[in-house]
Amino acid sequence: MADLRTAILSAVSAAARLHQYAGSEQLADRGEGRVDVFQMFVEREIALLFRPLNPLLGAFVNDPGLGVMVTTQRPLAVQRFTAAHELGHAVLGHQPSFDDEAMLSRTPFTDRPSYDLQEVQADAFASELLAPRWLVAKHVLRQGLKAPSLARPEVVYQLSLRMGLSYLAMCYALRRHKAIRDDICDALTKVPPREIKRELADGVEPETWHGDVWVVTEHDEGLLVEGSRSDLVVLRLAEHSGSGYVWRFDELAAAGMNILEDRRLALGDGEQIGGIVARRVTAQPAPEARGFAQLAEVRPWRASEPLNTMHLRLDLSGPVGPGLLAVQRRRLLGVA
């Protein structure tokens, strides 16, 4: 048991050192809501190859050099966790590993003696790398959340999207950092993510529910919305229409987003004349939607004088397709 605790502490320390080297906290303050685990491969010059690997999720090899493969057949959040797990093998000097679905069913930081010590270490490394306490705290503060809110499935789900985690991994991260009790975690994990998505989509039916449903508010100013081609993005912004101000969403199209629904919802009791309403716009990405959108709440006759603005960076091109990372591919071509 002492060996297990020592191994886990070593993995957590290694992840913390990697964050310090990469300047992860500073990047988070600039709007990078998730840890860019793929970029860490680039910085450490470890080849990262994406391939259809069914039934495997990922693999790590160390001969003739360090290299990692990650499946293309899983969602972006699973790709990210798999990459972090395999990066743990590389950073911790492990033997080659071929990892399947069991990696997702193991609870990180487990003390079960039946689990391979190397795999437990890689799990702990991946969990600390993707969901450190400081990053969870930043998102909770940014969203203005109070402790009781963390018992709500839709709140935890939205946190998971911003941190690039699966819903289940987010539940475990909150429990690990003692933000929620064990019984609350157990209750949250029993809620199917599809039910949460349907509630948040509020009547909009995507082609598939494999994607996620983002609900973006004023709290997400400057955020990188990084997801997949099948995601929905719901923008819910307070609008001062009683004073002649309306939100303009023209730049969504330039960023590769198609608006599916645009409506206004009353706030409060709905009886206040000239009051604030909620503007709710639901959009889906066109193929490979990437770009920057600057939204503005303006009076149409004075569009150059916005009351409020909203800046978003959008990358809804996931999951990562076959091949090397683009930057690694360019480097290889440059060397060749």
pLDDT digits (tens, 9 = 90+) for 226-250: 999 999 999 999 999 889 999 999 9
Of 250 and 156, more confident: 156
186 lies in a domain? Answer: yes
203 lies in a domain? Answer: no
User: What's the pTM?
Assistant: 0.93
- φ and ψ at 42, to 5 degrees? -65, -45
Q: What does the angle CA 246 – CA 248 – CA 253 come to, to the nearest 5 degrees? A: 160
227 lies in a domain? Answer: yes
Per-residue pLDDT at 106 exceeds 80: no
75 lies in a domain? Answer: yes
* pLDDT for 268: 61
- Residues 107, 157, single domain; the answer is no
58-61/67-71 β-pairing: antiparallel
- Residues 90, 173, single domain; the answer is no
CA distances from 298 to 251, 257, 302 (A): 14, 21, 7
Q: Average pLDDT for residues 249-266, to the nearest whole number?
A: 92
- Residues 163, 270, single domain; the answer is no
Q: Which domain holds residue 269?
A: 208-318
Per-residue pLDDT reduced to its tens digit, 19-44 = 999 999 999 888 889 999 999 999 99
pLDDT band (50, 70, 90) for residue 97: very high
- Residues 157, 239, single domain; the answer is no
CA distances from 1 to 8, 104, 107, 292 (A): 11, 23, 17, 50
* pLDDT for 246: 95
Per-residue pLDDT reduced to its tens digit, 189-219 = 999 999 999 999 999 999 899 999 999 999 9
Per-residue pLDDT reduced to its tens digit, 51-95 = 999 899 999 999 999 999 999 999 999 999 999 999 999 999 999
* pLDDT for 3: 83
336 lies in a domain? Answer: no
- Residues 110, 142, single domain; the answer is no
- Residues 228, 158, single domain; the answer is no
Question: CATH number, domain at 295?
Answer: 2.60.40.2020
Percentage of residues in the chain having pLDDT higher than 90: 79
- Residues 65, 180, single domain; the answer is no
- Residues 141, 100, single domain; the answer is no
* pLDDT for 112: 61
Question: CATH number, domain at 74?
Answer: 1.10.10.2910
The total number of structural domains in the chain stands at: 3
310 lies in a domain? Answer: yes
- Residues 71, 149, single domain; the answer is no
180 lies in a domain? Answer: yes
Q: What CA–CA distance (Å, rounded) separates 329 from 50? A: 12
Q: Average pLDDT of the chain? A: 92
- Residues 169, 240, single domain; the answer is no
- Residues 52, 25, single domain; the answer is yes
Burial class (CB in 10 A: 0-12, 13-18, 19+), 65: exposed
Q: Of the candidates 107, 130, 153, which is a domain's last residue?
A: 130
Q: Average pLDDT for residues 222-229, to the nearest whole number?
A: 94
Judged by DSSP in three states, 111 sits in coil
- Residues 181, 283, single domain; the answer is no
pLDDT band (50, 70, 90) for residue 270: very low
Q: Of the candidates 78, 104, 130, which is a domain's last residue?
A: 130
71 lies in a domain? Answer: yes
Q: Of the candidates 130, 145, 168, which is a domain's last residue?
A: 130
